Each structure stands twice: as structure tokens, then as C-alpha cells.
């Protein structure tokens, strides 16, 4: 009797595991997460600093009273074409937002180059003029201070969503508050982003 029931039990178990995995996957890949309650950060965004792609220390207090779009970028990704949209966003909305690019090799070795190679790639292929930073780590034990702030509720006040792939976007408002997370599928010039500028 038990032998006859066993395949059905295994099937039910497999379906249950599948549903759990799909639910977990959907939760982790939500396209947009917004700070709808206007929760203020617990640690100031303007205390952060990072090293530019050409080796200069940049303090984020120079970004006060400006909206900032922070993006983890990569040169060999299916979303690399979004460099063009990021540059257009910077050009069109330069009075409203500043784009900051953080090259990272966190997803399947899609940013293997050196800082010099990345900078050259961006200039030659996309004419990038927005601020680029040195190659960084956006998740895990070696996560940079900028991405620690973006993905830790103890710092930003509400968000724990880490980048799910290259070209995830985080929008910070003029007061240094994290406004929202936009995954890679949300293009730089999408209404979801431009309506918040």
C-alpha cells in the first residue's frame, strides 16, 4: 500500500517545493520597490565616499540637494546597452539627477576588466560622461560601504534589497533619502524612474 502511495507523496512534495521556490524567486526579483512611507535614513548618505575610476576620492556631501541614481554596471552583460540610456538620462535631466556608475564583477564575471579598460570601453562605445567609480563589490562579505548603505535597513532606514543582477538602480532624493530600487529590467528612461525626478 505504502509503495503505491509513495509516488503520489513524492509528486506532492515536488509541487510544494516548486511553489516555494517560485514564491521565493518572485519575491527576490521584484522589479520596483519604493519608499512609499518616506522613511528617513538612520545613517547619512552624505557621510559616504568612494574612489572614482581615475583614482580620486569623492565625498558624497557634494551631492547634497541633488537626486542621485546609483547603478551597478558591467561591460559584458545583456543589459550593457543601458549605458546609452543612462547617459541620455544624465543629458536630458542634468538639472534634476546625477548618475553614478559602479562597475562590478559580481554576476558571472561580466565585468572582468581593469578600471582603465572599463573607462576606455565606456568612452569609446557609449561616450560616458557621468561619474564612474572604481570597480567595486555590491554584495557579499566584501560589499562596498556605498552598497552597504543602499541595502541595509540599519543605514538607509527601510530597504534590504541587494542588486539582483547588473544594472540595478537605486534612487536617492535631494535630502539623502533612498527613494527606490529598480531592477535591471527597468530602463533608465522608463516612466517609473523619470516620474520621480
Q: Which residues are catalytic?
A: 77
The span from the CA of 84 to the CA of 177, in Å, is: 26
3-class SS of residue 59? strand
Are 127 and 133 a contacting pair, CB within 8 Å? no
Distance in angstroms (rounded) separating the CA atoms of residues 177 and 7: 53
**How many whole angstroms separate alpha carbon 109 and alpha carbon 69?**
24
> What is d(CA 101, CA 176) in angstroms, rounded to the nearest whole number?
17
Amino acid at each position: 500500500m505504502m509503495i503505491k502511495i509513495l509516488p503520489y507523496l513524492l509528486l506532492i512534495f515536488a509541487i510544494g517545493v516548486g511553489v516555494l521556490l517560485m514564491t521565493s524567486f518572485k519575491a527576490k526579483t521584484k522589479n520596483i520597490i519604493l519608499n512609499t512611507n518616506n522613511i528617513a535614513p538612520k545613517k547619512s548618505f552624505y557621510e559616504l565616499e568612494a574612489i572614482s575610476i581615475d583614482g580620486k576620492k569623492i565625498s558624497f556631501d557634494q551631492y547634497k540637494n541633488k537626486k542621485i541614481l546609483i547603478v551597478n554596471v558591467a561591460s559584458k552583460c545583456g543589459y550593457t546597452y543601458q549605458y546609452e540610456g543612462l547617459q541620455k538620462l544624465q543629458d536630458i535631466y542634468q538639472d534634476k539627477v546625477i548618475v553614478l556608475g559602479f562597475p562590478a564583477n559580481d554576476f558571472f564575471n561580466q565585468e572582468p576588466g581593469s578600471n582603465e579598460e572599463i573607462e576606455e570601453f565606456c568612452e569609446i562605445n557609449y561616450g560616458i560622461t557621468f561619474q564612474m567609480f572604481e570597480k567595486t563589490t555590491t554584495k557579499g562579505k566584501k560589499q562596498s560601504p556605498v552598497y552597504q548603505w543602499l541595502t541595509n535597513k540599519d543605514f538607509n532606514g527601510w530597504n534590504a534589497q541587494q542588486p539582483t543582477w547588473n544594472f540595478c538602480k537605486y534612487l536617492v532624493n535631494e535630502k539623502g533619502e533612498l527613494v527606490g530600487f529598480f531592477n535591471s529590467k527597468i530602463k533608465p528612461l522608463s516612466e517609473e524612474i523619470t516620474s520621480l525626478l
